[in-house]
């Protein structure tokens, strides 16, 4: 006899217990510490901070561990925690020109003030598996060029001095906007778009950015500058009447220099695409800059011909927490609706067969 399916509660508890067991894995192997994750899987932790939009390496490392290394799950954990935190206010705009750069390169100039600084990059490594990493061999300390702590002028500012590139744009009086506290209503301001892109899915933005290079809204980009390093975060305190530093964050900034534009009133000049991401995340910052430039199509009077230029398409689908939730919700039971479809298909098939029976004899007679 059929017994109505019960025990969802016990099943869930047991599933979570098994998950905890699998997460821990072989008990003979020491458990990962958060310091190990934050220190040795730093780029995974950085991605989780960036797309989780919460700058906290310890919590991001915890999320990576809790998610068994599933980064989108870790991003979701961090976001869900972040949403419970009080909003104290907004920082002053970061001065990335004053960044203590650890890496800074420009593809536009052979050499420039401050120099090309490769920093800790995978570029130019040969992607040969290094069996030496299976173990704990001693690693010599990195070398840093003397004087690297000096302020390094931004490439975009060098071009802007000559008027060759459009300006940064001034902050508008009504603040930066806040994608967390205002419902999205299109069209979005560039500031709101940049906020969305900054925590958008790296893979999605990478693919969209790539598509612009392959001709879907081509924008002739040059990597004007990529810089990674720490910047000071300042908050304006009305009681004091001035801004005070509250800490430092590591960010990756990418300024794309794109095809020029001019008009009867404005002389020809390069345009910009901008990317800024928490932590060290160069691929993401570059992809973001390509997408930002593509999304400025309307502002710059370009024809909207490809998905990367379409705000609603890009911004509505770039959030991986939203995307994964909705795709994975298909796992939830849908049997009530399926039953409704089943009923209709059966009815339509019955009608089809009845019609067939009526038609068949006629056909025979005709033959």
Partner 1 sequence: MTSRTSTYNFAYLDEQTKRMIRRAILKAIAIPGYQVPFASREMPMPYGWGTGGVQVTASILGPRDVLKVIDQGADDTTNAVSVRKFFQRVAGVATTTKTGEATIIQTRHRIPEQPLREGQVLVYQVPIPEPLRFLEPRETETRKMHALEEYGLMHVKLYEDIARNGHIATTYAYPVKVEGRYVMDPSPTPKFDNPKMHRSEALQLFGAGREKRIYALPPHTDVVSLDFEDHPFEVQKFDRPCALCAAEGVYLDEVVLDDRGGRMFVCSDTDHCETRRADGHRGELAGDTT
- Contact residues for partner 1 (CB under 8 A)? 1-9, 11-12, 34-35, 58, 76, 79-84, 86, 180-187, 312, 316, 321-322, 324-329, 332-337, 339-344, 347-348, 351
* In the complex, minimum distance from the CB of residue 84 to partner 1, in angstroms, rounded to a whole number: 6
**Closest distance of CB 70 from partner 1, Å:** 13
* Shortest reach from residue 196's CB to partner 1, in Å: 13
Nearest to 156 by CA among 249, 228, 254, 288: 254
For partner 1, the closer of residues 23 and 347 by Cβ is 347
* Positive or negative torsion for Cα 156, 157, 161, 166: positive
Would you give the end-to-end CA distance of the chain in angstroms?
53
| CA 69, chain centre distance (Å) | 17
Asked if 209 contacts 287 with a C-beta cutoff of 8 angstroms, the reply is yes
Q: Which is nearer to partner 1, 168 or 310 (CB)?
A: 310
Closer by beta carbon to partner 1, 99 or else 321? 321
Q: In what order do the strands lie in the sheet with 269-278?
A: 100-105, 222-237, 242-261, 269-278
Query: Measured from the CB atom, is 173 or 333 closer to partner 1?
Result: 333
Tokens coding 76: 């979701």
Closer CB to partner 1, 150 or 341, in the complex: 341
The rounded distance, in Å, linking the Cα atoms of 96 and 155 is 11
| Residues forming beta bridges with residue 257, ordered by sequence position | 222, 272
Q: Dihedrals φ, ψ of 338, to 5°?
A: -60, -40
Nearer to partner 1 (CB atom), residue 142 or residue 183: 183
Cβ 86 to partner 1, closest distance in Å? Answer: 7
CB of 329 to partner 1, least distance (A): 3
CB of 306 to partner 1, least distance (A): 16
- φ and ψ of 252, to 5 deg: -115, 130
């Amino acid at each position: 006899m059929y017994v109505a399916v019960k025990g969802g509660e016990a099943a869930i508890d047991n599933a979570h217990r098994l998950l905890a067991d699998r997460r821990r894995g072989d008990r003979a192997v020491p458990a990962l510490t958060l310091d190990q994750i934050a220190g040795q899987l730093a780029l995974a932790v950085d991605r989780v901070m960036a797309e989780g939009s919460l700058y906290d390496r310890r919590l991001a490392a915890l999320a990576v561990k809790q998610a068994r290394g599933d980064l989108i799950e870790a991003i979701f954990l961090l976001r869900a925690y972040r949403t419970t935190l009080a909003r104290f206010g907004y920082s002053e705009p970061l001065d990335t020109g004053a960044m203590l750069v650890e890496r800074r390169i420009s593809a536009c100039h052979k050499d420039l003030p401050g120099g090309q600084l490769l920093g800790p990059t995978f570029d130019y490594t040969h992607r040969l598996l290094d069996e030496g990493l299976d173990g704990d061999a001693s690693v010599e300390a990195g070398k840093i060029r003397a004087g690297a702590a000096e302020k390094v002028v931004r490439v975009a500012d060098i071009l802007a001095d000559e008027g060759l590139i459009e300006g940064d744009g001034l902050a508008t009086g009504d603040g930066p906007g806040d994608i967390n506290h205002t419902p999205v209503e299109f069209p979005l301001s560039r500031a709101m778009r940049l906020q969305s892109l900054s925590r958008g899915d790296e893979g999605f933005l990478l693919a969209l950015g790539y598509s612009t290079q392959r001709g879907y809204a081509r924008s002739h980009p040059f990597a004007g500058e990529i810089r990674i390093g720490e910047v000071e975060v300042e908050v304006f305190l009305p009681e004091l009447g001035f801004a005070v530093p509250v800490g430092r964050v590591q960010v990756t900034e990418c300024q794309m220099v794109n095809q020029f534009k001019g008009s009867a009133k404005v002389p020809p000049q390069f345009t910009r695409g901008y990317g800024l991401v928490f932590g060290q995340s160069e691929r993401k910052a570059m992809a973001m800059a390509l997408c930002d430039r593509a999304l400025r199509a309307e502002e710059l009077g370009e024809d909207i011909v490809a998905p990367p230029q379409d705000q609603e398409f890009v911004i509505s689908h770039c959030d991986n927490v939203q995307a994964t939730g909705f795709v994975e919700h298909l796992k939830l039971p849908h049997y009530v609706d399926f039953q409704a479809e089943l009923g209709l298909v059966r009815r339509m098939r019955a009608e089809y067969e009845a019609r067939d029976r009526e038609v068949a004899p006629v056909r025979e007679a005709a033959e």
